[in-house]
Amino acid sequence: MKSTKPHVALLASPGMGHLIPVLELGKRLVVQHEFHVTIFVVATDTTTVESHLRNLPNPKLLNVVSLPPVDISGLVDPDASIVTKIIVMMRQTLPALRSAIISTTRQLRPTALVVDLFGSEAMAIADEFEMLKYVFIASNAWFLSATAYFPTINKRLEEEHINEKKPLMIPGCKPVRFEDTLEAFLDPKDQVYVEYLRLGVEIPTADGILINTWEDLEPTTLAAMRDTTSLGRVTKVPVYPIGPLVRPVMQVRPAPVQEDSVVGWLEKQPSESVMYVSFGSGGTLSFNQMIELAWGLELSQQRFVWVVRPPMDDDASGAFFKVDSNGSDGTPNYLPDGFLTRTSDKGLVVPMWAPQAEILSHPSIGGFLTHCGWNSTMESVMNGVPMIAWPLYAEQKMNATMLTEELGVAIRSKEFSTTPIVEREEIERMVRKIMVDKEGDGIKSRVKELKYSAHKALSIVGSSYNSLSKVAKDCETSLQGQLSKARG
């Protein structure tokens, strides 16, 4: 491979929520900067990369390498959190990543390694091969501020947060309320707590942090991270807001659309009339909550597309690593008796997995009941779709708070904090508020403004385009250094 353009290696940790934005980042480096990109994917039984590799730009420049699956069964408690499992998997993958980088080195040594948050230990490999190293946060700057600040929180503050349930104060940033906090912060004896401390220590050793956000979405948090006068600044590493990284919205739908597909069904519905309901790649509800949600949708009398998966009473991330993006044809038998028949003229139930990017970009969609995973959130904003926030795990409660209280583009039930179950009447009320009531108009217009702001950030004169160009420039300068060193 003879080229004067840098080669950048990207490492994605398992889970579609990590893989999808890393693929988009790789595509941007190819399309905007004509870089060579190799994306290393940590394979799991359910990480079906193939469906996301269609329509890749310039396959000569973008290469995807699946690293061999690793067995972590003897290394981690089966009941450990999903984050712990992902981190242990990433650790076990390091030797394979190192060998893979050595083999790409025979063509053109990567100039930079970009790892997502849970792969930060791989930055040691970048050091070994004298590569630039970047951490990519597939979430927002507020989440980064909490994670990067965590190791510097002293015992007293920790006790105040965990025991007295006081907010976590982060210099210059919004405090994190106890109700919104990350599970990882709550139990110092849990492995995930120790791993998070390590992440917080490792992030600042990067040459830069890329974040899936944009300047105008989080101006205060980003300013706090760059405030050189603040002694307690959460990180001194340059931050690059490069988002939103979402799969591109198709302007023209390919014809013909399959009649029996979800998009085929959406084609027959009026504009902005359908509520899309989905809990991401891993989210699950309890049995009783599923029943209430089904009734709530039915009582609302609104059209809906609902991605359903078997209920789990004790694990809100119960489908993680269990759902694959090839979907499933099974008929869901855990829904209320007669629900499918009674709602057949208004609703479509899709088992396990749906083509979310296509759904959210369809003009028939008028609302999104979402678990507030950051990719889902960004996809909704990019399409100007107002949300009902239904956070389940990870940083989703922080995201829900940002969407409802700060950006005003979503509503959220008060019942989340007071009762274990959100009841059908409350769900009916929220769906109608977004889809029917005049009250929802403010939310709709704010999300449309945010859509405009996101598209502007990505445009050739926009802040995110500019941020990624700065990273690209650093890679180019580093490559020139490598080349002149090689020439002696």
Footprint of ligand UDP on residues 396-425 (CB under 6 A)? none
Burial of residue 313 (number of CB atoms within 10 Å: 0-12, 13-18, 19+)? exposed
C-alpha dihedral (366, 372, 376, 378), degrees to nearest 10: 90
Cα distance between the two ends of the chain: 20
Residue (13 or 463) nearer to ligand UDP, CB: 13
Q: Name the segment binding ligand UDP (CB under 6 A); options: 10-18, 76-84, 185-193, 407-415.
A: 10-18
Q: Is 15 in the site for ligand UDP (CB under 6 A)?
A: yes
Which residue in 374, 398, 399, 464 binds ligand UDP (CB under 6 A)? 374
Q: Name the segment binding ligand UDP (CB under 6 A); options: 143-151, 298-306, 368-376, 466-474.
A: 368-376
CB of 400 to ligand UDP, least distance (A): 12
Q: Is 200 in the site for ligand UDP (CB under 6 A)?
A: no
Closest residue to ligand UDP, based on beta-carbon distance: 17
Matching residue, tokens 């950030």: 457
For residue 270, is the peptide bond before it cis, meaning its omega torsion is within 30 degrees of 0?
Answer: no
From the list 7, 18, 52, 161, the catalytic residue is: 18
Q: Name the segment binding ligand UDP (CB under 6 A); options: 95-103, 210-218, 278-286, 460-468.
A: 278-286
Q: Is 81 in the site for ligand UDP (CB under 6 A)?
A: no
Residue (14 or 440) nearer to ligand UDP, CB: 14
- CA distances in angstroms from 384 to 397, 405, 446, listed in the order given: 21, 18, 9
Q: Is 122 in the site for ligand UDP (CB under 6 A)?
A: no
List, as own/partner pairs, every contact residues 94-101 make where C-beta atoms lie below 8 angstroms and the sequence separation is at least 24, other chains included. 94/121, 94/122, 94/124, 94/125, 96/67, 96/68, 96/70, 97/11, 97/40, 97/67, 97/122, 97/125, 98/125, 98/128, 100/40, 100/65, 100/67, 101/9, 101/125, 101/129
Q: How many CB atoms lie within 10 A of CB 251?
A: 6
Which residue in 26, 241, 243, 280 binds ligand UDP (CB under 6 A)? 280
Of all helices (H) and strands (E), which one includes residue 162?
helix 155-162
Q: Is 143 in the site for ligand UDP (CB under 6 A)?
A: no
Footprint of ligand UDP on residues 298-357 (CB under 6 A)? 307, 353-354, 356-357
Q: Name the segment binding ligand UDP (CB under 6 A); options: 12-20, 87-95, 141-149, 419-427.
A: 12-20
Tell me how far apart the alpha carbons of residues 421 and 423 are, in angstroms, rounded to a whole number: 6
Q: Please give the sequence-ordered ranges of beta strands (E in DSSP) within 117-155, or none if there are none.
A: 132-137
Tell me how far apart the alpha carbons of residues 85 and 78 are, in angstroms, rounded to a whole number: 9
Tell me how far apart the alpha carbons of residues 275 and 313 are, in angstroms, rounded to a whole number: 25
Asked about 116 being catalytic, the answer comes back as yes
- CA distances in angstroms from 442 to 437, 439, 445, 449, listed in the order given: 11, 7, 5, 11
Residue (13 or 467) nearer to ligand UDP, CB: 13
C-alpha dihedral (133, 138, 144, 146), degrees to nearest 10: -140
Residue (12 or 153) nearer to ligand UDP, CB: 12
Tell me how far apart the alpha carbons of residues 345 and 258 are, in angstroms, rounded to a whole number: 19
Residue (6 or 283) nearer to ligand UDP, CB: 283
Residue (298 or 358) nearer to ligand UDP, CB: 358
- Contacting residues for 266 by C-beta, under 8 A, at least 6 apart: 274, 305, 359, 362, 364, 365
CB of 15 to ligand UDP, least distance (A): 6
The token pair at 249 is 């919205």
CB of 464 to ligand UDP, least distance (A): 18
Query: Which of 172, 97, 173 is closest to 133 using CA atoms?
Result: 97
Tell me how far apart the alpha carbons of residues 239 and 459 are, in angstroms, rounded to a whole number: 19
CB of 4 to ligand UDP, least distance (A): 34
Residue (104 or 375) nearer to ligand UDP, CB: 375
Which residue in 26, 119, 366, 373 binds ligand UDP (CB under 6 A)? 373
- Compose the 230-269 pattern: x for residues touching ligand UDP by CB under 6 A, - for all others: ----------------------------------------
Asked about 345 being catalytic, the answer comes back as no
Q: Name the segment binding ligand UDP (CB under 6 A); options: 14-22, 34-42, 237-245, 402-410.
A: 14-22
CB of 319 to ligand UDP, least distance (A): 9
Q: Is 296 in the site for ligand UDP (CB under 6 A)?
A: no
Residue (148 or 350) nearer to ligand UDP, CB: 350
From the list 33, 36, 52, 116, the catalytic residue is: 116
The token pair at 132 is 């630039």
Footprint of ligand UDP on residues 377-396 (CB under 6 A)? 379
Q: Is 117 in the site for ligand UDP (CB under 6 A)?
A: no
Residue (109 or 362) nearer to ligand UDP, CB: 362
CB of 212 to ligand UDP, least distance (A): 9
Type of residue numbered 178: F
* Angle value at C-alpha 410, between 406 and 411, nearest 5 degrees: 105
Type of residue numbered 49: V
Q: How many residues contact ligand UDP, by CB under 6 A?
A: 18
Q: How many CB atoms lie within 10 A of CB 223?
A: 14
Which are the catalytic amino acids? 18, 116
Binding site for ligand UDP (CB under 6 A): 15-17, 20, 278, 280-282, 307, 353-354, 356-357, 373-376, 379
